[in-house]
Structure 1
Amino acid sequence: MDTIHFRIDEETKRLAMLAAKRQQTDLTKLMRQKAEELAEEERDYQKNTYAFWLESEIDKAIARSENRQNTFISHDESAQRIAALRLKLSGDSVE
């Protein structure tokens, strides 16, 4: 488990320690709990952000299909495009 260090002023530390004592725990446990809560919030945010993006992309694709704005290509053409893109991304292409 990693360690986190941060600086706070003495008054903040004193009050935080009193709050921890009132909750019958120590400041380290409270800070760990808060960090875990923040991490869980971030997990939810990332999950929901991805779900929102994916749903939006699906909706756009359905709308394009319904409006007959899609362009379909053969498997061979798709394979050629992917090969060209891989070549370009690898830096081996000559322009």
Structure 2
Amino acid sequence: MDTRIQFRVDEETKRLAQQMAESQGRTLSDACRELTEQMAEQQRKVLSHDTWLTEQVNQAFDKFDQGKSVFIDHDSAKSRMEARKAKIRNRG
């Protein structure tokens, strides 16, 4: 079911926005709808990422609880990361 969104802006803002929308071959309503849809899609991506991240964290804790975690000291982790970065830089 479609829903209606209403908001208020001053006349000058409305006039200029309509001019911009018309110059792009669309109505102001179309432009507002597109912006709303874009924002909703961005939020879907955020929610999807949050879900994925939560799953990853939970898997890491499960692995830890099962005694299957492997810990790496800071210097080794730093060294590994530098090696990965260098490898990526050398691809280009």
TM-score normalised to structure 1 length:
0.66
Work out the CA distance in 2 between the residues paired with 1:2 and 1:21. 24
User: How far is the alpha carbon of 1:58 from its aligned partner?
Assistant: 0.7
User: How far is the alpha carbon of 1:67 from its aligned partner?
Assistant: 6.2
Identical counterparts, % of pairs: 28
Letter in 2 for 1:21: E
1:50 corresponds in structure 2 to: 51
4+ residue stretches of structure 1 with deviation over 6 A? none
TM-score normalised to structure 2 length:
0.68
The number of residue pairs the alignment matches comes to 68
Task: Say which one has the larger Rg.
Answer: 1
RMSD: 1.6
Q: Deviations over 1:41-77 (max 9, x none)?
A: 1111101101101111111110121269xxxxxxxxx
Gaps of 5+ in 1: 69-95
